[in-house]
Amino acid sequence: MNMNTNFDKVDIKQFQHDLITWFVREQRDLPWRKNGGDPYKVWVSEIMLQQTRVDTVIPYYERFLEKFPTIESFAEADDESVLKIWEGLGYYSRVRNLHSAVKEVVQHYGGKVPETPEEISKLKGVGPYTAGAVLSIAYGVPEPAVDGNVMRVLSRILLMWDDIAKQSTRKLFEKAVRELMYYENPSYFNQALMELGALICTPTSPSCLLCPVRDHCQAFEAGVQEELPVKTRKKTTKHVEIVAAVLKNKDDQFLIRKRPEKGLLANLWEFPNVEDHGPYVQMRQGLAGYLKNELEIDTELETGTFEKVNHVFTHLTWTIDAFSGKLIGDFSGRPNYKLVCKEQLEEYAFPVSHQKIWQAYKKQYL
DNA sequence: AATCCGTGGCA
DNA sequence: TTGCCAAGGAT
């Protein structure tokens, strides 16, 4: 597409003024807008907000900064507490990468978050969006911060029909932002574009009649705002049947294990479980056999499940049948397995699906 | 480039 | 109920 043609239709100065004026007047009162411009706090908020709703993030953000108020305090945190504070927020590699990157900043940058695109982009978990967001919001550096909101807003204003699901498309929007950027206040400009996308220029049913930049919007002029942005998608939802065991030994300790360091729900803890496709009786027997073979432990599993969890991931669905049981004899111990009392258990980070199992177990047995 | 990586809200 | 999706990044 010929982007110059589309820019010719925009009065850039007037657009900037209308957008910024609206943002100053209408921006939401969010916790990370009261962080004093601390680059560390801006950084934390941007990582949490990746693919995650504002309302979900707010309590996590408050708790996180209460526990780790400075970049040094977070750098010193142990891995278990880092994962625990992220429990339930999803995309757990975010916090592992953030922790790694923060330690890098403390060690090699004296605790000062880098303020150039080249340096900040080298940090783990800091991609093009986060780099631009932290640099512009914390330091006023005029870098684009192109997220889903920005692509949606600009696709409509500039009538860009490029598929935003394609990774290469982001560069087109970064180029557009550089053309439109309000260089007097990059922080406000980037935030205003995102805020407009969140409050007015929404994915469905945008509130065009309330839009401060409606007069600059080529999609509104053409009446095609509902058709933009173009976003292709595919869906291949796989279903996995799982049987899990909440096992208690004679000392009222429970058997848990740590998930692998890579892949789904990396490093989180869970109740011993195995994939199974069999009918009901075979499921239970299969689970007992698995525990016997893999862990060399004897168990007495109850005949009925006490909880059935259906958990939907983006591209995967788990159905977990949970059995309560006794752990017979001594457990010799295996790598990644632990016996813990119920108070200790709740200090480890579990996926939401296994949290549900534990809550159901407590309600029924404790 | 295409796929993986969580969760909860919503129409 | 089902699919979409919300301030993306790594591989």
- A173 and A220 together in one domain: yes
Amino acid A192 reads A
Residue A219 CA distance to nucleotide C9 C1' (Å) = 30
**Tens digit of each residue's pLDDT (9 = 90 or more) over A270-317:** 999 998 876 666 777 888 988 998 889 999 999 989 999 999 988 889
Report the domain count for chain A.
Answer: 2
Whether residue A2 has pLDDT greater than 50:
no
Amino acid A55 reads D
**Tens digit of each residue's pLDDT (9 = 90 or more) over A226-236:** 999 999 876 66
Amino acid A40 reads Y
- How many of the other CB atoms lie within 10 Å of CB of A159? 21
- A161 and A294 together in one domain: no
**Tens digit of each residue's pLDDT (9 = 90 or more) over A309-366:** 999 988 889 999 999 999 998 888 889 999 999 999 999 999 999 999 999 999 999 9
CATH of the domain at A148: 1.10.340.30
Q: Residue A333: what pLDDT?
A: 84
Which two three-digit tokens encode residue A77? 């945190």
Among A172, A198, A227, the domain-final residue is A227
- A158 and A276 together in one domain: no
A175 vs A136: CA distance, rounded Å: 16
Residue nearest to nucleotide B10 (CA to C1'): A204
Q: Residue A235: what pLDDT?
A: 67
A237 vs A313: CA distance, rounded Å: 9
- A159 and A203 together in one domain: yes
A53 vs A293: CA distance, rounded Å: 43
Q: Show Cβ contacts of residue A224 under 8 Å, excluding neighbours closer than 6 positions.
A: A159
Do residues A125 and A94 touch, judged by C-beta distance below 8 A?
A: yes
Q: How confident is residue A1, by pLDDT bands cut at 50, 70 and 90?
A: very low
Q: What is the mean pLDDT of residues A15-36?
A: 96
Catalytic (active-site) positions of A: 46
- A261 and A174 together in one domain: no
A136 vs A275: CA distance, rounded Å: 47
Nearest CA among A172, A215, A184, A208 for reference residue A15: A215
First to last CA, chain A: 64
The verdict on residue A233 lying in a domain is no
A188 vs A143: CA distance, rounded Å: 12
The verdict on residue A208 lying in a domain is yes
- A76 and A162 together in one domain: yes
Among A182, A208, A227, the domain-final residue is A227
Q: Residue A280: what pLDDT?
A: 61
Among A227, A260, A281, the domain-final residue is A227
Nucleotide nearest to A169 (CA to C1'): B1
Q: Where are the beta strands (DSSP E) in A273-315?
A: 273-275, 298-301, 307-312
Q: Which nucleotides of C are covered by protein (CB under 7 A)?
A: 3-10
| Structural domain containing residue A287 | 238-365
Which of the pair, A6 or A310, is modelled with greater confidence? A310
- A268 and A218 together in one domain: no
The verdict on residue A232 lying in a domain is no
A270 vs A338: CA distance, rounded Å: 10
CATH of the domain at A352: 3.90.79.10
